[in-house]
Amino acid sequence: MGSTISRVWTKLFGKIEARLIMIGLDGVGKTTLLHQFRLGEAVTTTPTIGFNVEAVEFKNIKLNVWDLSGHEKIRSVWRTMCPNTQGVVFVVDSTDIARMDAAREELHHMLWEDHLRDAIVLVFANKQDFPGALDAAAISAKMDLDRLRQVWHLQVGSAVTGAGVNQGLDWLVNLILILIPPVAQHPADTDAWYTRGVCLQELLALPTAILDFGRVVALQPTHWRAWYQVNY
């Protein structure tokens, strides 16, 4: 369904852009994961000082990804990057049991920022290709993910091998499209959706919550969450 939504959204509103922040403790593989997002392959990296910003094209969506340093002295700056953020990618080292509590505290503290109340959250459990990596159930429990107020998903994988990367990104993009729809620059244009090459079959394939007698309507995030909880 994600590709259908992306196609219709593009016809109605033009190129879709979303802003993501990628956070996590230092040394967990954030920058390597960013290169997998952008290039589809692992690249030798050095510890990030400050932040990296990369544009990633995925499913006709432009993702502006801010890769923020996980150094302890820089984590306080994360909160200044929250405004206008649609998605959060939190990377955790599946083998670093000693720092799992610290990772949990940083994640929960960050997600209580008002600017991130409606953000979509992907927790990427990295380094699953290493011996001793915790499984998804153990990581979910240690990270206390069920307490998050946001819509979230835990994806296990490896930023080096690419395992799980596309699956996680696919989920994130689909949820951004479903739960945080773009707003038309000219709302009246949504009444004439047929002039933009959107066929009836495509509209019928969209969630019924976003259709109103042939019009595309922008609902509040809470309404979209209610639809998501019932249908997914």
Helix (H, G, I), strand (E, B) or coil at 171: helix
* Ligand-binding site membership of 195 (annotated): no
* Ligand-binding site membership of 142 (annotated): no
The span from the CA of 179 to the CA of 17, in Å, is: 14
* Pairing outcome for strands 51-58 and 61-68: antiparallel
* Ligand-binding site membership of 2 (annotated): no
* Predicted local distance difference test score (pLDDT) of residue 5: 53
Helix axes 100-111, 136-143, angle to 10 degrees: 60
The span from the CA of 83 to the CA of 86, in Å, is: 9
Helix (H, G, I), strand (E, B) or coil at 70: coil
* Ligand-binding site membership of 28 (annotated): yes
Of 113, 120, 121, which Cα lies nearest the Cα of 24? 121
* Ligand-binding site membership of 26 (annotated): yes
The span from the CA of 232 to the CA of 218, in Å, is: 20
The span from the CA of 102 to the CA of 24, in Å, is: 10
* Ligand-binding site membership of 189 (annotated): no
pTM score of the predicted model: 0.72
Structure tokens at 85: 């953020």
The span from the CA of 41 to the CA of 121, in Å, is: 23
* Ligand-binding site membership of 33 (annotated): no
The answer, yes or no, to whether residue 32 has pLDDT greater than 80, is yes
* Ligand-binding site membership of 164 (annotated): no
- 145-199 pLDDT, tens per residue? 999 999 999 999 999 999 999 999 999 988 888 776 554 434 444 444 333 444 4
The span from the CA of 79 to the CA of 116, in Å, is: 10
Structure tokens at 138: 């153990």
User: Are the CB atoms for 38 and 54 separated by under 8 Å?
Assistant: yes
* Ligand-binding site membership of 27 (annotated): yes
* Ligand-binding site membership of 70 (annotated): yes
* Ligand-binding site membership of 229 (annotated): no
Q: What average pLDDT score do residues 130-156 get?
A: 96
The span from the CA of 77 to the CA of 161, in Å, is: 30
* Ligand-binding site membership of 30 (annotated): yes
- 76-109 pLDDT, tens per residue? 666 666 778 899 999 999 999 999 999 999 999 9
